[in-house]
């Protein structure tokens, strides 16, 4: 009875289940090395005798969490990586970073390599609609998807449609009536933008698309070139606002508008998405839809460690949605 009480007390102190403590004390391979070390240390501090396994027996878990991202040059992913690295360090894990370069074939090779390395778990950001690499990862490794939502494994992201609706509402409030959307037309944020315009019956509000996409810093130059290829000093002025898929595309828009002699925000309001450090580095400062990166990373990491510790018996495809927030800066302005 005393031992059971002690295990319950230990579980309460560590914020885990009693079964997790019990399995850690018995050196179960289903418990991470970091979690075992926490349990053993606490047990010894309470006067319990702990038989620590030999080094060769204690290496069932790698103590490594992998993170697969589409790009390591995109400032949004840089922010995620920095925050995830900090969380891993606090919890005693090493972070293994891999970039797919937005290529499914590379993504698949990375997954196969991670399976061979026996990492404890994977934080995954898919690069395309091809879910084959993710399916393979989920079948072999503890996996959580962040920034997106999927039915294949636990995932956490934001409501991109809501972000688009916020931008459309802001443009309406500042008296805009003709918007150019820069990015894939079927992007969720643009669907939310159009939905707001339709729901509010803004019959005097027109929308056009410029389909240009990208994952890394090259997206800045591709956006600039696409604008210059499709519009001149006169035709670009048919629009009074631009909503870009990401801050990278918005910065490319800044360059193109400068070349075309268009003033921001006097002649053209510009809004981005992700609220990366770029939004505060340009002039005028860029209005952008902020994703709660800290929450996404912390929650995603918590979901993954629950899988690793098996505190979730059968988690299934849990999906979580966080709300974005439009940050208004100098690139847009309130109308009179």
Residuewise pLDDT in 10s, the chain (336 residues): 444 557 888 888 888 888 778 777 877 655 667 778 888 888 888 877 777 665 444 444 678 999 999 998 889 999 999 999 999 988 888 999 999 998 999 999 999 999 888 899 999 999 888 889 999 999 889 999 999 989 899 999 999 999 999 999 999 999 999 999 999 999 999 999 999 999 998 889 999 999 999 888 899 999 999 999 999 999 999 999 999 999 999 999 999 999 999 999 999 999 999 999 999 999 999 999 999 999 999 999 999 998 887 744 445 568 899 999 999 999 998 544
**H or E element, residue 145:** strand 143-146
**pLDDT for position 105:** 93
Q: Are β-strands 287-290 and 325-327 bridged in parallel, bridged antiparallel, or unpaired?
A: antiparallel
Closest CA to 332 of 280, 277, 281, 285: 285
Which of 12, 31, 57 is a domain's end point?
A: 57
Q: Are residues 201 and 285 in the same domain?
A: yes
How does 80-98 read in b/e, with b if 16+ C-beta sit within 10 Å?
bbebbbebbeebebebbeb
HSE at residue 186, side-chain half, CA atoms within 13 A, is 1
Q: Are residues 141 and 224 in the same domain?
A: no
Q: Are residues 154 and 299 in the same domain?
A: yes
Domain with residue 7: its CATH number is: 1.10.260.40
The answer to whether 295 touches 131, Cβ cutoff 8 Å, is: no
Q: Are residues 178 and 101 in the same domain?
A: no
Q: Which residues have C-beta within 8 Å of that of residue 1, sequence separation ≥ 6?
A: none
Position 326 in a domain: no
Q: Are residues 177 and 129 in the same domain?
A: no
Q: Are residues 209 and 94 in the same domain?
A: no
Position 327 in a domain: no
Position 328 in a domain: no
Position 166 in a domain: yes
Position 195 in a domain: yes
Q: How far is CA 275 from CA 79, 90, 247, 262, 290, in A?
A: 11, 26, 7, 23, 5
Q: Are residues 39 and 124 in the same domain?
A: no
Position 115 in a domain: yes
Q: Are residues 166 and 269 in the same domain?
A: yes
Q: Are residues 13 and 91 in the same domain?
A: no
**pLDDT for position 315:** 52
Position 330 in a domain: no
If you ran DSSP here, which 8-state letter would residue 111 be given? H
Domain with residue 137: its CATH number is: 3.40.50.2300
**H or E element, residue 306:** helix 293-309
Q: Are residues 31 and 91 in the same domain?
A: no
User: Which backbone phi and psi does 326 adopt, to 5 degrees?
Assistant: -75, 125
Residue-range definition of the domain harbouring residue 185: 160-291
In 3-state terms, what secondary structure has residue 86?
Answer: helix
Q: Are residues 180 and 264 in the same domain?
A: yes
Structural domain tally of the chain? 3
The answer to whether 167 touches 176, Cβ cutoff 8 Å, is: no
Q: Are residues 101 and 140 in the same domain?
A: yes
């Amino acid at each position: 009875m005393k031992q059971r009480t002690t295990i319950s007390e230990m579980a309460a102190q560590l914020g885990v289940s009693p079964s997790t403590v019990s399995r850690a004390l018995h050196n179960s391979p289903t418990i991470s090395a970091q979690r075992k070390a926490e349990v053993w240390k606490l047990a010894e501090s309470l006067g319990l005798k702990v038989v620590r396994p030999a080094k060769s027996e204690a290496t069932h878990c790698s103590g490594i969490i992998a993170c697969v991202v589409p790009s390591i040059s995109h400032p949004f992913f840089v922010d995620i990586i920095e925050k995830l690295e900090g969380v891993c360090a606090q919890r005693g894990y090493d972070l293994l970073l891999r970039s797919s370069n937005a290529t499914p074939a590379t993504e698949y090779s990375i997954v196969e390599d991670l399976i061979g390395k026996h990492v404890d778990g994977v934080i995954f950001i898919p690069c395309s609609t091809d879910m084959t690499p993710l399916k393979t990862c989920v079948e072999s490794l503890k996996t959580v998807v962040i920034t997106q939502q999927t039915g294949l494994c636990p995932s956490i992201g934001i409501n991109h449609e809501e972000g688009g609706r916020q931008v459309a509402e802001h443009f309406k409030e500042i008296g805009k009536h003709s918007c150019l959307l820069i990015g894939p037309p079927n992007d969720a944020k643009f669907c939310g933008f159009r939905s707001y315009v339709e729901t509010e019956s803004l019959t005097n509000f027109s929308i056009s698309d410029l389909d240009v996409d990208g994952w890394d810093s090259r997206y800045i130059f591709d956006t600039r070139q696409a604008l210059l290829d499709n519009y001149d000093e006169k035709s670009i002025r048919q629009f009074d606002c631009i909503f870009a898929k990401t801050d990278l595309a918005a910065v490319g828009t800044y360059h193109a508008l400068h070349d075309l002699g268009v003033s921001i925000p006097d002649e053209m309001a510009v809004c981005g998405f992700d609220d990366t450090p770029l939004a505060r580095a340009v002039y005028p400062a860029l209005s952008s839809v902020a994703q709660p990166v800290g929450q996404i990373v912390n929650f995603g990491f918590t979901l993954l460690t629950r899988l690793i510790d098996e505190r979730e018996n059968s988690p299934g495809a849990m999906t979580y949605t966080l709300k974005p927030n439009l940050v208004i800066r100098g690139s847009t302005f309130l109308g009179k």
